[in-house]
Chains A and B, each alone.
Chain A
Amino acid sequence: MDSTGSLLVSGVWFLRNIIGVIIKPYETYRRIVDHGRLGELFYIGILLAGYFALASLVKEASFRPFLLTRQFVALSTTAAVSFFLASTTIWLVGRLVGGTGSWQRITLAWGYTMMPTLIWFLATSLLYVLLPPPRTTGVLGIAFSIVYLVFSVTLFFWKIVLSYLTIRFGLRLDAKKIAIVAGITVPLFVVYSIAMYRFGVFRVPFL
């Protein structure tokens, strides 16, 4: 199969897996790790690039090509570096505690955990334009805050579930070892997120 055909097949798998991680995350993650193709990361990358283009417009709030391009490059480069750093860290720590998976499998599985992140950032960017902060302490402000927080916490839990499945299937680890991997990697991610905040790239970590 040529590269175009391979990319098309990866696209079909990507669509199938996107629906799967929403409806049947457990079964789908097993399939992603066992039969997934690295080409699926291309489509995840396209979705992320689309979001960064939109976020650049919202952040800059002007149509000056140089500033927009600079913002886009800064966001996408940082996100790409964060993505590969995160998946590599998980893989290395997982191997240290006895995991058996390959880096490719972990990277692909981690790619799908970017979906909750992407949805949250996209919704937050759009809401920033439609209902700009600050929120008031009136009834409508509190009602919106509750709905927004429920949405955010739900996506956060979904992210945790997908991250857990990444380690479970990607590294073939049991719950105790997954807890050890999380105990080592989460503080590292916190330090990295603080650094990103200091550099002014992402206030909420894009992981």
Chain B
Amino acid sequence: MKLSFRGQAEESQGDPSLITRDDVKTMRDVTYKKFVRRWEEVMDLPPQTLGPFTKPYKKLTRRLKVMPWPWLILVSILIVVGLYVLVGSAITFLVTLLQRGF
């Protein structure tokens, strides 16, 4: 799609594939409105500060905001393997209990 200017738009009247200045202005308005809406959403929440833990907290939450599964599964594997190393085959008792837990 080509961007047309005033003069060109006059020459190519009736061609719907061209973008006019008015279209650009409308797009700017829409983008601006989206930006304002997003800004208001972000500012609606109090900022998260945890003193010395703020940086690790931000690092952790950044990974959990979008597609958290690889991290959730990785941490779960580490915990379960750790549990297996600690209690050995006794984990089967825990699973038996959980399987009867519904």
Contact = CB atoms under 8 A, between A and B. Distances in A.
Interface stretch (B7-15, B19-27, B28-36, B73-81): B73-81
A16 interface: no
9 contacts: A25-B64, A121-B102, A136-B92, A142-B84, A144-B95, A148-B95, A161-B64, A172-B45, A173-B46
Contact of A145 (B45, B66, B72, B92): B92
B17 interface: no
B86 interface: no
Q: Is the interface of B mostly helix, strand, loop or mixed?
A: helix
Interface string A136-178: 1100011011101111111001100100000011001111100
A174 B48 contact: yes
A192 to B, nearest CB: 16
Given A148-B98, A149-B94, 16 more contacts: A25-B64, A55-B102, A121-B102, A124-B99, A125-B102, A133-B100, A134-B96, A135-B99, A136-B92, A142-B89, A145-B92, A153-B79, A168-B45, A202-B101, A202-B102, A204-B102
Contacts of A174: 46-49
Contacts of B57: 175
Contacts of B66: 23-24, 26-27
A34 interface: yes
A130 B28 CA distance: 58
A128 interface: yes
Q: How large is the interface on A (under 10, 10 to 19, 20 to 34, 35 or more residues)?
A: 35 or more
A101 B18 CA distance: 47
A103 to B, nearest CB: 19
A150 B76 contact: yes
B98 A152 contact: yes
Interface of A: 23-27, 30, 34, 55, 58-59, 121, 124-125, 127-128, 132-137, 141-142, 144-146, 148-154, 157-158, 161, 168-169, 172-176, 202-204
A94 to B, nearest CB: 13
